Amino acid sequence: MPIYNLSINGKSITTSNIESDTPLLWLLRDELNMAGTKYGCGKGLCGACTVHMNGNPIRSCQIPVAALGEQNITTIEGIASDNKLHPIQQAWHDLDVAQCGYCQAGQIMSAVALLKETPKPTDEQIEQSMAGNICRCGTYVRIKQAIKLAAGIEDNTAKKMDYSLAKEVK
Amino acid sequence: MELVNVNRRSFLKMTGIATGGLILGWHVPKFAIAATLENPKALNAFLQITPDSQVMIYSPNPEIGQGVKTSMPMIVAEELDADWEMVTVRQAPIDPIFGRQSAGGSRSINTNWDNLRNAGGSAKHMLLQAAAEQWAVNANECRAKLGYIIHNPSGKKLSYGSLVERAANQNVPAPSDLTLKSFDEFTLLGKRIGGVDNLAIVTGQPLFGIDQHKEAMSYATFVKSPAYGAKPKKANLDEIKKLPGIKDAFIVKGAKTPRQLAHGIAIVATSTWAAFKAEKALVIEWDNSNAASDTYSEMKAQAEKLALKASSNQKLLNKGDAVTGLKNAAKTVSSVYSYPYIAHTPLEPMNCTAQWQDGKIEIWAPVQLPQPAIGLVSRITNVDPADITLHQTRVGGGFGRRLANDYVMEAVAIAQHVKGPVKYTSTRESDTGHDFYRPSAFFTFNGGVDEQGKITAWQEHFITMGGNKKANGPAGRRTTVFPAPLINNFELSQSIIKSKMPIFALRAPQSNGLAFPIQSFLHELSTLAGRDHLEFLLEVLGESKWLDEGNKDSLHTGRAAEVLKLAAKKSGWGKKLEKGRGMGMAFYFCHSTPVAQVVDLSVDENKKITIHKVTIVGDAGPIVNLSGAENQCQGCVIDGLSVVMGQEITFTNGVVDQSNFHDYPLQRMPGVPEIESHFIQSNYPPTGLGEPAYPPFAPAFCNAIADATGVRLTHLPINKLGYSI
């Protein structure tokens, strides 16, 4: 089997034990034991597997390992820096966005990419950028609020928690 | 993720005896917060306290997105007077000591309320006794506050951690000796509390069933027949076994029903991808002799024909004289309604990790009913339940799909042939095509009103699919659904279209379907009478009373009236609206919680709908976690929107026609409205919201379209009629 040199979350990874058509999703989950990126549909329809390639959101279930080259891949495990949550992660945490939580890694990756491109998105820009991510539990109201919170856009419908467990990130 | 599982034996060992070493709650490598609990002492099965005053509370029930992993421990913490900042929560092991550990029927909070309060109250009592002993004072001179016992006269205080050693030696009080708080003394309950797994979720830590990773683990998938209930006769297994990454492929013989264990073909591989890829290369010859052969379009045609009749011989309810009531009516209206089959589609596909070794089975599974899962595995494998260990993981959505444990049994059946642990993952296509569906039904209504606009009669012919002689469970029509108990001349008859297609409970079983036709037709009657729907509903509800006196799970008409009135007030009900805009209201009562919704929307000439706002009011008693309650309400509205706008499962010759999210769409962010939730926190024990807030959306939405356009929508989903959002 061919050898692939990959860059994932800033680390160089060499893999020699994987079929060339294996989607990035399954390389991450089964081979590298990075389970944050989720399988939802396998067809690029639900966005649960969203990661970044050079900062742009992609559906990792649709990209075979052979097509990755030396592009920089970032996953949900790699967006916090210096032991500090990304502002999007912090907003998700602070507004208690998740219900079951399964889709949220993909939602967060789409939202991070949106704010990188458009630091102050309009409601419509948020809706269009997030339209590829399904939340079966229906947390879209809070997802939108969290994106605005992270972007510093006022939204008086958002409600902060009275207490959060583990709110301080050391 | 649980790294150390505390089973019952170690529990008993732990009680009152210091345990050395670390117990890791969940492991967050970079962001380690209160992840270690040193020398915890158990004061009862539900909670442990460390000498440095950290409190660990077990959450007994499956977390499926309904928020119980946070709300159940909150109830313990409230009565304990713990400082929530010092609380760590862990998923409890499966153990009878925790009672019925299940997620279904919106019952986690109301059935565990007393137990959880007693667990907190009991531990607090022991801490108070310990402090009194240490100070040599009377315990009634002491009080508990935020992790401390305070001696009232002197103001001295001791932390829970400093008292736990002594507290563990106190007698455990009888529940009858405990003084629990009155609802107005709550300091934690009713607040907005973030989910205890939030940090792990936003950083992508492994939490879910599908995230399980074991040393030397194999990966598998399981292929079931396209037609429900068929058996594999033969397959090209030798070819499959030669494919790259494939370790094994074999036929699994099913159990009595596919809900226990379906017939199928297992593929075991070195990765999930290899197994999925091999599935595509499978060539299988199926034995369809016992399989379903139903075709939905034919069943629908049959239902439409039956719906031409106002009643059938099979009466479910016959009060007064509906036929005469209709004859004597000043005005009458007749309508036929229907809704289709729908699927659960939780976003985490069905999966389970299992290991079968030396006669013992170990399972890691995202399930709603873990105890019955162990029972099922035991019955089918003949392995003693004591030799079956099931670890609950966080669940990526339930919606009733995971009340069936078929996928647990599938994993165990595969594990029997595999050395070491194996993780079985189902494809999305298999999940969509092999669900246990919410069945379709048709309804023919005839109703009348008199000169005063009061209902004179309600005649309903309920045509259900998927039952046999009786339409039970999800295919049934409860006769207690509002407004049946409050209408004098009420005739309800039933016809059953038999089908082998699998059906099962889905979020708010029965109610998820029934609410739409019944609460829509009620609006047709108020419209026929030329009356305001709120005023009409309040009149139907009548005087304030329990419909079944003494049964707090029955409808209380006064509570119903209050949620309706508040929904009207908060939504601006009755305000003048521009052309093309309308408001719709619906009430529904199920799972002991009355809920009203008002939808405010506009419809343009191209049938494009803009929802301005949805107002939802429930009376679930005192709210445990306000954030969780609001989340459930928002989720119910959006789930309702998916169902109304575009979801339909159909089948041809027993084979489901839909496969993935392109042909079975879920609501996405564009079009999602503002959703405002309000709660009447009446002084009854708390009840659930994860289901009761769901049924009223569809009728409120369609009533709003009728108000905006004059067009009555009677068949779901409405994208088939050209509507979009």
CATH number where A34 lies = 3.10.20.30
8-state DSSP, A27: I
Q: Which residue of A has its CA nearest to B629?
A: A99
pLDDT at B29 over 70: no
Q: What is the mean pLDDT of residues B562-569?
A: 98
Task: State the number of CA atoms in the 13 A half-sphere of B697 facing the CB.
Answer: 26
- Does residue B335 sit in the same domain as residue B236? no
Q: Is residue A30 part of a domain?
A: yes
pLDDT at B122 over 70: yes
**CATH number of residue B267's parent domain:** 3.30.365.10
Q: Which residue of B has its CA nearest to A92?
A: B202
- Does residue B524 sit in the same domain as residue B559? yes
HEC string of A46-88? Answer: CCCCEEEECCEEEECCCCEHHHCCCCEEECHHHCCECCECCHH
pLDDT at B23 over 60: no
Q: What is the pLDDT of residues B603-646, one digit of tens each?
A: 999 999 999 999 999 999 999 999 999 999 999 999 999 999 99
Distance from CA of B718 to the nearest CA of A (A): 20
- Does residue B695 sit in the same domain as residue B627? yes
Tell me whether residues B272 and A26 touch, CB distance under 8 A: yes
Q: Is B77 helix (H, G, I), strand (E, B) or coil?
A: helix
Residues 76-135 of B with CB under 8 A from A: 84-85, 87-89
Interface mutation vs chain A, best among B198, B630, B691, most A CBs within 10 Å: B198
Output the pLDDT for position B254.
97
- Does residue B388 sit in the same domain as residue B536? no
Q: Which residue of A has its CA nearest to B673?
A: A141
- Among the three residues B377, B397, B426, which one is the final residue of a domain in this structure? B426
- Does residue B286 sit in the same domain as residue B300? no
Residues 399-428 of B with CB under 8 A from A: 399, 425, 427-428
- Does residue B123 sit in the same domain as residue B271? no
Distance from CA of A57 to the nearest CA of B (A): 16
CA torsion angle A100 B637 B473 B439 (round to 10): -100
- Does residue A117 sit in the same domain as residue A54? no
Q: What are the chain B neighbours of A167 within 8 Å (beta carbons)? A: 194
pLDDT at B18 over 60: no
- Does residue B108 sit in the same domain as residue B148? yes
HEC string of B100-144? Answer: CCCCCCCCHHHHHHHHHHHHHHHHHHHHHHHHHHHHCCCHHHEEE
Residue type, B249: A
The residue whose two tokens read 């003394």 is B185
The shortest CB-CB distance from B397 to any of A102, A131, A157 is to: A102
Residues 149-168 of A with CB under 8 A from B: 157, 159-168
Q: Which residue of A has its CA nearest to B670?
A: A127
Nearest Cα to B375, choosing from B365, B383, B351? B383
Tell me whether residues B635 and A164 touch, CB distance under 8 A: no
Label the pairing between strands B351-357 and B422-425.
antiparallel
The residue whose two tokens read 């000043």 is B330
Q: Is B522 helix (H, G, I), strand (E, B) or coil?
A: helix
Contacts of B564 (CB under 8 A, 6+ apart): B534, B537, B538, B541, B585, B587, B596, B617
Phi, psi of B5 (to 5 degrees): -100, 125
Q: What is the mean pLDDT of residues B672-700?
A: 96
Residue type, A5: N
- Does residue A95 sit in the same domain as residue A53? no
CA torsion angle B90 B91 B96 B102 (round to 10): 140
Q: What is the mean pLDDT of residues B463-492?
A: 91
Residue B398 structural domain: 215-290+352-426
Residue type, B410: E
In chain B, the percentage of residues whose pLDDT exceeds 90 is 91
Q: Does A116 touch chain B (CB under 8 A)?
A: no
CA gap B712, B114 in Å, rounded: 46
Say what angle helices A140-151 and A123-130 make with each other, to 10 degrees.
Answer: 120
In this structure, are residues B585 and B531 in contact, taking their beta carbons and an 8 Å threshold?
no
Output the pLDDT for position A165.
52
- Does residue A60 sit in the same domain as residue A10? yes
Q: Is residue A166 part of a domain?
A: no
Quote the tokens at residue B27: 């492991």
Domains in chain A: how many in total?
2
Output the pLDDT for position B35.
53
Label the pairing between strands B351-357 and B142-145.
unpaired
Output the pLDDT for position B31.
41
pLDDT at B12 over 50: no
Distance from CA of A69 to the nearest CA of B (A): 20
Instruction: Give the residue with greater pLDDT, B17 vs B149.
Output: B149
Q: Which residue of A has its CA nearest to B85?
A: A165
Residues 64-93 of A with CB under 8 A from B: 75-77, 80, 83, 85, 89-90, 92-93
8-state DSSP, B711: P
Q: What is the pLDDT of residues B64-87, one digit of tens each?
A: 999 999 999 999 999 999 999 899
In this structure, are residues B257 and B251 in contact, taking their beta carbons and an 8 Å threshold?
no
The shortest CB-CB distance from A100 to any of B85, B396, B670 is to: B396
pLDDT at B19 over 90: no
- Does residue A92 sit in the same domain as residue A74? no
Nearest Cα to B405, choosing from B369, B437, B381? B369
Residue A32 structural domain: 4-78
- Does residue A66 sit in the same domain as residue A93? no
Tell me whether residues A135 and B637 touch, CB distance under 8 A: no
Q: What is the pLDDT of residues B233-255, one digit of tens each?
A: 999 999 999 999 999 999 999 99
CA gap A110, A133 in Å, rounded: 8
- Does residue B385 sit in the same domain as residue B494? no
CA gap B159, A109 in Å, rounded: 42
Tell me whether residues B202 and A104 touch, CB distance under 8 A: yes
Interface mutation vs chain B, best among A29, A100, A170, most B CBs within 10 Å: A100
- Does residue A66 sit in the same domain as residue A104? no
pLDDT at B536 over 50: yes
Distance from CA of A65 to the nearest CA of B (A): 12
Judge if the upstream peptide bond of residue B695 is cis by omega within 30 degrees of 0. Answer: no
pLDDT at A141 over 60: yes
pLDDT at B364 over 90: yes
Does ipTM surpass 0.90 in this model? yes
The shortest CB-CB distance from B194 to any of A42, A103, A164 is to: A164
Q: What are the chain B neighbours of A157 within 8 Å (beta carbons)? A: 674
CA gap B178, B536 in Å, rounded: 46
Distance from CA of A130 to the nearest CA of B (A): 7
Exposed/middle/buried for A62, CB within 10 Å: 0-12, 13-18, 19+? middle
Output the pLDDT for position B151.
98
Cα B485 off chain centre by? 26
Output the pLDDT for position A83.
76
Q: Does B634 touch chain A (CB under 8 A)?
A: yes
Output the pLDDT for position A168.
37
In this structure, are residues B547 and B481 in contact, taking their beta carbons and an 8 Å threshold?
no
**CATH number of residue A108's parent domain:** 1.10.150.120
- Does residue A72 sit in the same domain as residue A91? no
Cα A3 off chain centre by? 27
pLDDT at B16 over 80: no
CA gap A108, B305 in Å, rounded: 50
Query: pLDDT averaged over chain A?
Result: 93
Output the pLDDT for position A163.
78
Exposed/middle/buried for B649, CB within 10 Å: 0-12, 13-18, 19+? buried
Least confident of A56-65, A78-87, B230-239: A78-87
Output the pLDDT for position A33.
95
- Does residue A15 sit in the same domain as residue A71? yes
The shortest CB-CB distance from A36 to any of B30, B31, B204 is to: B204
In this structure, are residues B263 and B225 in contact, taking their beta carbons and an 8 Å threshold?
yes
In this structure, are residues B396 and A100 in contact, taking their beta carbons and an 8 Å threshold?
yes
Listed in sequence order, the DSSP H helices in B315-390 are 322-327, 370-381
Q: Is residue A157 part of a domain?
A: no
Distance from CA of A70 to the nearest CA of B (A): 22
Contacts of B661 (CB under 8 A, 6+ apart): A41, A43, A45, A46, A134, B345, B428
Label the pairing between strands B593-603 and A11-15.
unpaired
Q: What is the mean pLDDT of residues B157-165?
A: 98
Contacts of B636 (CB under 8 A, 6+ apart): A138, B616, B689, B690, B691, B693, B694, B697
Phi, psi of B323 (to 5 degrees): -65, -45
Tell me whether residues B627 and A161 touch, CB distance under 8 A: yes
Domains in chain B: how many in total?
3
Q: Is residue B249 part of a domain?
A: yes
Q: Is residue B612 part of a domain?
A: yes
Q: Does A43 touch chain B (CB under 8 A)?
A: yes
- Does residue B304 sit in the same domain as residue B277? no
Quote the tokens at residue B206: 């492994």
- Does residue B85 sit in the same domain as residue B144? yes
Q: What is the pLDDT of residues B285-319, one digit of tens each?
A: 999 999 999 999 999 999 999 999 999 999 999 99
Q: Is residue A9 part of a domain?
A: yes
Q: What is the pLDDT of residues B101-115, one digit of tens each?
A: 999 888 888 889 999
Q: How many beta-carbon pairs under 8 angstroms link A with B?
A: 237
Least confident of A55-59, A161-165, B170-174: A161-165
- Does residue A114 sit in the same domain as residue A56? no
Q: Does A134 touch chain B (CB under 8 A)?
A: yes
Question: Within 10 A of B379 (CB to CB), how many other CB atoms are there?
Answer: 14
Q: What are the chain B neighbours of A133 within 8 Å (beta carbons)? A: 668-669
Contacts of B102 (CB under 8 A, 6+ apart): B61, B62, B108, B368, B369, B370, B371
Interface mutation vs chain B, best among A20, A21, A30, most B CBs within 10 Å: A30
CA gap A99, A104 in Å, rounded: 9
Quote the tokens at residue B375: 């029972």
- Among the three residues A15, A45, A78, which one is the final residue of a domain in this structure? A78
Output the pLDDT for position B337.
98
Q: What is the mean pLDDT of residues B527-543?
A: 98
